[in-house]
Structure 1
Amino acid sequence: MLNRRHLITHAALASATLALPGFALAQTPTTRIIVPFAAGGPIDVTARVLAEAVKGSLGTVIVDNRAGAGGNIGVSAAAKAAPDGLTLGIATTASHGINPWLFSKLPYDPAKDFAPITQMLRVPNVLVMNAEAATRLNINSLADLIAYGKANPGKLNYGSGGNGSAGHLAGELFKNQAGIFAVHIPYNGGNPAQIGLLSGQVDFNFDNLATAAPNIRSGRLKALAVTTLQRSNVLPDVPTVAATLPGFEIDTWWGLVAPAGTPAETVRKLNTAFTDALKSPEVKTRFGLLLAEPAPNSPEQFGEFMNRERVKYERLVKLSGAKVD
């Protein structure tokens, strides 16, 4: 009985000791990635792939979806987080390239409020036509589309996911460089815009390759050109817009950022963890299912890239006349 009482006493003392602050067991802090869009989309999916891939080096990494206001709510939350390397955000073409010129006021400063970590990926956009319309109008190439537009002013139209969207800006740049006119038909999102194209409501769209690829393969859409400077590995037979209109380049990208003020040593540690993951065969394969190409780089390279994107989209937003107040 005495031995048993001693054992119980020792066990109680041990439990009490572990409960004391000075004797607390060390735990690896959790890293959080704020995704400024709803769960299930490509940005969310790729963030979750990376969160899983870096758990060996960073420990537990969770994804926190903060959707709304074109991504501004989530991006603002990341900017205002403590600069301790435990809260990261996703910077996108929209949040760090387009929105600074599209919105009259932003709840964050894309140039000052973030410490770049690494670009995650890029997804080519593609100029696609309704296949039936392409056949009816005898358009088999980008040159054919431009020639038709010049011979039939005002007869072409194109759709996009909304005013100021990447598809809208690509369309305006194309019109400007090709010297043609086409009516812009804005839809409430990328999916309605694709439905409008498939149903013949519009003649062409600049769509994300990941979204358009299934309908290109099924023959419902005709791919005329990709918007990157190089051809896509997914559609190697489809030429670039730049082959006809030199200098034309627009694609979709996103990457990781931390709040401004995050220590440089912490940023380097995060960069190493995430770029190693982006280079891994597993991540490349899983991104490939989304027709996305990993694009790891240094914090300095990613920062310079985003600066160039802001300069590019300032001109394009002004060209389009789009504004959100």
Structure 2
Amino acid sequence: MQRDHETLTRRDGLKWVGAVGLSAIAGLPARAEEAWPSKPIRWIQPFAPGGTSSIVARVIANEITKQTGAAFVIENKGGGGGVPAMQELLRAPADGYSFIMSHIGLLAVNPLIYPDAGYDVNKDFVPVTLVNRLPSLFVVHKDVPATDIKSFLAYAKTRSGLLNYASAGNASAGHLAIEALKLATGLSIMHVPYRGTGPALNDVLAGRCELFSAGTPALLPHIQSGALRCIGVGSPKRISALPDVPAIAELYPGFETEQWYGIHARAGTPRNIILRMQKEVAKALNAPEVVARHESESATPGGGSPEDFGRFVRQQQVRWKEVVLKAGIKAE
């Protein structure tokens, strides 16, 4: 009888140890989620420093660093239409410590003009969240004799083939905005691509290019200083940041173009980290400093679910395919 009692006790003990082991294993994902982030997070930017994407990234990164205590490192990798930046993310581990600033060019245009990039934007990357949407501004150097889109078109007609417009690069939001403007108005103007908004803006400010389009964060200070003149906005209606500047849709009904920025990760990144990152961005967008900045720049904040952002991206892919094909945008 004593032996049977000892055997039963030993068996019960083994069961208990097994139950504890299984319980510990089951608890690992929860503890792993709580531990993230435990080291710096890379946020790859597909443009050179100084542009709208860098400004947006810096504001959000600062807030997320405050919230999580982990450094949110902005890594600029410009050039190549953003393809090298996407390839860089694809080489990184899918561990939730590398993300990319996604935008219209990377996701809606590059699949059409860089078919041999070595990745599929809809299979090899996953959406995290939309960060914000910004009205496109169309600006000219202060010495260009035009005060609105109508007078600029008249000016351009007298100089057909002689005017240039700068962009942050092939397939950038500014490139698409002006190509859409050309399709809507018949404007004749040459494209000069740069490796980011910063370098392009420098040449526009120097008067080397007559026309430029970018978002409010990069352009408002130069408009307010008088160095640049805004001749139109791409939103359907006038914006509060520039109430006296007409929307291009006032002259060409239905015209609309905007910039937008979001966050994507490598496919295979743990779902719990994707959702945690989305929550951190949503929280950052509600910070008083970020809310005030968005209001001053007439920006629309994002912060929605990965699924919401995924649907938005698919809509943008359909929307801009027509512009890319009609304008004949090619890889450069």
- Work out whether the TM-score is over 0.5: yes
Q: CA distance change for structure 1 residues 87 and 186 in 2, over 3 Å: closer, same or farther?
A: closer
Q: CA distance change for structure 1 residues 113 and 282 in 2, over 3 Å: closer, same or farther?
A: same
Letter in structure 2 aligned against 1:72: V
Q: 1:256 Cα deviation (Å)?
A: 1.4
The percent of aligned pairs where both chains have the same amino acid is 30
Residues 271-310 of structure 1 mapped to structure 2, 5 A cutoff: 271-285=278-292, 293-310=300-317
Aligned residue number for residue 98 of structure 2: 87
2:131 aligned with 1:120: yes
Two-structure CA RMSD over aligned residues (Å): 3.2
Q: CA distance change for structure 1 residues 220 and 79 in 2, over 3 Å: closer, same or farther?
A: same
Aligned residue number for residue 35 of structure 1: 44
Residues 115-137 of structure 1: CA deviation (Å, up to 9, x unaligned): 21111123322112333332xxx
> CA–CA distance in 2 between the matches of 1:112 and 1:59?
32
Letter in structure 2 aligned against 1:260: A
Aligned residue number for residue 165 of structure 2: 159
Residues 192-213 of structure 1: CA deviation (Å, up to 9, x unaligned): 5445544544443323333332
2:114 aligned with 1:108: no
> CA–CA distance in 2 between the matches of 1:254 and 1:58?
22
Deviates more, 1:54-63 or 1:87-96: 54-63
Aligned residue number for residue 173 of structure 1: 180
Letter in structure 1 aligned against 2:133: R
Residues 155-192 of structure 1: CA deviation (Å, up to 9, x unaligned): 662312244443332222112112x2312141434445
Q: CA distance change for structure 1 residues 51 and 64 in 2, over 3 Å: closer, same or farther?
A: closer
2:102 aligned with 1:96: no
> CA–CA distance in 1 between the matches of 2:72 and 2:202?
34
> CA–CA distance in 2 between the matches of 1:75 and 1:82?
13
Whether the aligned pair in 2 keeps the contact of 1:30 and 1:59 (CA below 8 Å) is no
> CA–CA distance in 2 between the matches of 1:295 and 1:74?
23
> CA–CA distance in 2 between the matches of 1:96 and 1:64?
20
Whether the aligned pair in 1 keeps the contact of 2:81 and 2:171 (CA below 8 Å) is no
Q: CA distance change for structure 1 residues 176 and 40 in 2, over 3 Å: closer, same or farther?
A: closer
2:245 aligned with 1:234: no
> CA–CA distance in 2 between the matches of 1:267 and 1:93?
21
> CA–CA distance in 2 between the matches of 1:35 and 1:316?
27
> CA–CA distance in 2 between the matches of 1:172 and 1:246?
17
Aligned residue number for residue 62 of structure 1: 72
Residues 203-234 of structure 1: CA deviation (Å, up to 9, x unaligned): 43323333332332233322111112343332
Structure 1 portions without partners, runs of 5+ = 1-25
> CA–CA distance in 2 between the matches of 1:97 and 1:111?
10
Letter in structure 2 aligned against 1:302: F
Q: CA distance change for structure 1 residues 77 and 123 in 2, over 3 Å: closer, same or farther?
A: same
> CA–CA distance in 2 between the matches of 1:133 and 1:44?
28
Aligned residue number for residue 22 of structure 1: none
Whether the aligned pair in 2 keeps the contact of 1:119 and 1:302 (CA below 8 Å) is yes
2:57 aligned with 1:47: yes
Deviates more, 1:39-48 or 1:271-280: 39-48
Q: 1:294 Cα deviation (Å)?
A: 2.9
Deviates more, 1:66-75 or 1:225-234: 66-75
Whether the aligned pair in 2 keeps the contact of 1:30 and 1:62 (CA below 8 Å) is no
- Secondary structure in 2 matching 1:133: coil
- Secondary structure in 1 matching 2:189: strand
> CA–CA distance in 2 between the matches of 1:186 and 1:163?
9
Whether the aligned pair in 1 keeps the contact of 2:180 and 2:323 (CA below 8 Å) is yes
- Secondary structure in 2 matching 1:54: helix
Q: TM-score, normalised by structure 1?
A: 0.76
- Secondary structure in 1 matching 2:143: helix
> CA–CA distance in 2 between the matches of 1:89 and 1:200?
33
Q: CA distance change for structure 1 residues 299 and 321 in 2, over 3 Å: closer, same or farther?
A: same
Q: CA distance change for structure 1 residues 101 and 36 in 2, over 3 Å: closer, same or farther?
A: same
> CA–CA distance in 2 between the matches of 1:49 and 1:158?
32
Q: CA distance change for structure 1 residues 53 and 193 in 2, over 3 Å: closer, same or farther?
A: closer
Aligned residue number for residue 17 of structure 1: none
2:192 aligned with 1:186: yes
> CA–CA distance in 2 between the matches of 1:223 and 1:321?
27
Structure 2 portions without partners, runs of 5+ = 1-33
Q: 1:112 Cα deviation (Å)?
A: 1.4
Residues 55-78 of structure 1: CA deviation (Å, up to 9, x unaligned): 466442432515143332332333
Q: TM-score, normalised by structure 2?
A: 0.74
